[in-house]
Chains A and B, each alone.
Chain A
Amino acid sequence: NAGVTQTPKFQVLKTGQSMTLQCAQDMNHEYMSWYRQDPGMGLRLIHYSVGAGITDQGEVPNGYNVSRSTTEDFPLRLLSAAPSQTSVYFCASSPPPGVGNTGELFFGEGSRLTVL
């Protein structure tokens, strides 16, 4: 009963380093997304995907790349980490909107990233 799995849970980077946050879901959901959570700012959408091979930018995409080669996986890449990217990152998945779909996103437990 895994749901949405994020790794790593904690990571410390130095400015300029690159890394990938992994996200995998086992619910066969078409839609996946990445949010960042900062104090007092709620959750802000970084990138999202409506299916394998399709991605699009959210509200705060700068400094992040994504790809979606399979339905299950949606990794988030930081190409050159900056202190402003210190945050908690959440991956979410959901079925497409439709009749009977409540709009529920299923979130992972989060990845806490610190950039020094």
Chain B
Amino acid sequence: GQQLNQSPQSMFIQEGEDVSMNCTSSSIFNTWLWYKQDPGEGPVLLIALYKAGELTSNGRLTAQFGITRKDSFLNISASIPSDVGIYFCAGPYTASKLTFGTGTRLQVTL
């Protein structure tokens, strides 16, 4: 099956810092999705990408669909305490099936 390698596994940053994480696939994807999971909650969709090279923003979050179609990147600018959580990449979307990455756990200190 498809494998998604997500890095880093965890990050400890100070409030105000920028964050970068990435995800690579063993196969070509036609969709990349980024989800965030707050503590004690289910994941929530942040950004969806559909085309190689696509760059999409959602507030302080920016995600890119890699041109090889085997990778994707998520950047968070000027982090704040509510950015704490686990960030998952995922793809592709067929019949309610998503393959999720292993997650990046983000901790933000004041």
Which residues of A are interface residues toward B (Cβ below 8 A)? 4, 31-33, 35, 40-45, 48-50, 56, 58-59, 90, 92-94, 96-97, 101-105, 107-110
Contact = CB atoms under 8 A, between A and B. Distances in A.
Contact of B41 (A33, A48, A109): A109
A102 B45 contact: yes
B94 A59 contact: no
B101 to A, nearest CB: 6
B96 A50 contact: yes
Interface string B17-54: 00000000000000101000000111111001000000
A107 B103 contact: no
Contacts of A94: 96
B48 A104 contact: yes
B102 interface: yes
Contact of B97 (A45, A101, A107): A45
Nearest to B89: A42
Given A42-B88, A103-B31, A92 B96 contact: yes
A43 B88 contact: yes
B42 A107 contact: yes
Contacts of B97: 33, 45, 48, 58
Nearest to A101: B93
Contacts of B6: 42
Contacts of A59: 1
A27 to B, nearest CB: 13
B40 to A, nearest CB: 7
Nearest to A94: B96
Given A108-B42, A109-B42, A31 B96 contact: yes
A45 B96 CA distance: 10
